Amino acid sequence: MTARDLLPIVALVVLLAVVPLFASNVLLNFLFTALVVALAAQGWNLLGGFGGQFSFGQAAFFGTGAYMTAALQIRLGVNAWLAAGLGILAGAAVAWAIGFMAFRARLRGSYFALVTLAFAEVFRILANASDVTGGAAGLLIRLDPRPANFQFESRAVFAWIAIACVGAVMVLCRAIERGRFGAQLVAVRDNEDAARALGVDALATKLRAISLAGAITAAAGCLYVQYFLLINAQIGYGTWISVEALLAAIVGGVGTVLGPVIGALALHGVGELTKGFASAITGIDLVLFGLLLVLTTAFAPSGIVGSLARLTRPRTA
């Protein structure tokens, strides 16, 4: 990995880091939510874009990270920073367990996608019925805005933490893309049987990918619950995060490092503008998301980043 590989990431991170200096609370809420989705989309992209294992159940990892972070603080009095770290580890562990069962059974394509969706739905039902997770009411973290509690009076601080997390994950994905692990993921994605014949341990490669994806997505859940101080089954394990993570990666550019971030910002920007002009129409933003997905698949299958790269590439005779 060279400095040239990191230049686009650094430029995007610096541009995003400037925004909280001048943004209102409304814009900060928008930016933070978009970055949380971008982080979850990076997790999906690592597994689906680089590894070719399309998941419909990122909510299973997002909700696990959020619930673990909140429950450890409320039930056991664990420090918020430590709770967030354990929440990330829990997300990775859940992802590994799901991946081990699915990949050992040689599930691929739509079968694997449906299994991940089923696990997310099972977790939602269990969280909605369990006393440990607060049942339908969920868990509410006590407001105590101190850095030691992972709470801050300024929303800009949360935005900068989210930007730092997104930047770190982009660097990680770039390193994976340029390294041996990235080559193994691409080999498994393109032809798993051929990859095995060349000596690639397909099961271990996919388990590493889904564990990293689970950890990244769980980190998004940890940030979410520390910002809003509330988590319930519909938020944590609801389909919204799975859908938005998938859409952000596809619209931004599947298999690209910048794509999930660009896609998340674009989707949320369009969604907020649409609700501003047509707030009386319930679900208009979801309709628009579906339309964008269809248009992207039909006319720009490489997403925003891929299309821009193709347009700016020098033409040769």
- List the domain boundaries for the chain: 3-239
pLDDT at 232: 93
Cβ-count burial 280-308 (b if 16+ within 10 Å, e if not): eeeeebeebbeebbeebeeebebbbbbee
Directed axis angle between helix 155-178 and helix 25-44, to 10°?
A: 20
pLDDT at 172: 94
CA angle 6, 8, 14 (to 5 degrees): 100
Directed axis angle between helix 202-228 and helix 25-44, to 10°?
A: 170
Look up the pTM and report it.
Answer: 0.92
pLDDT at 175: 93
211 contacts 92 by C-beta, under 8 angstroms:
yes
For residue 202, the one-letter residue type is A
Nearest alpha carbon to residue 1 among 263, 202, 182, 207: 182
How far apart are alpha carbons 273 and 262 in whole angstroms?
A: 16
How far apart are alpha carbons 33 and 245 in whole angstroms?
A: 12
How far apart are alpha carbons 191 and 300 in whole angstroms?
A: 24
3-state helix, strand, coil in the chain (%, to 5): 75, 0, 20
H helical segments located in 77-108: 80-104
176 contacts 185 by C-beta, under 8 angstroms:
yes
pLDDT at 279: 60
Nearest alpha carbon to residue 161 among 151, 171, 173: 151
Low-confidence ranges of the chain (pLDDT < 70): 1, 275-285, 311-317
pLDDT at 304: 83
How far apart are alpha carbons 79 and 256 in whole angstroms?
A: 36
| Residues near 223 by beta carbon (within 8 Å), at least 6 away in sequence | 32, 36, 39, 158, 161, 162, 165
Helix count and strand count (H, E) for the chain: 14, 2
pLDDT at 193: 86
| Residues near 10 by beta carbon (within 8 Å), at least 6 away in sequence | none
What is the SS3 assignment for 55?
coil
E-strand spans in the chain?
Answer: 139-140, 230-231
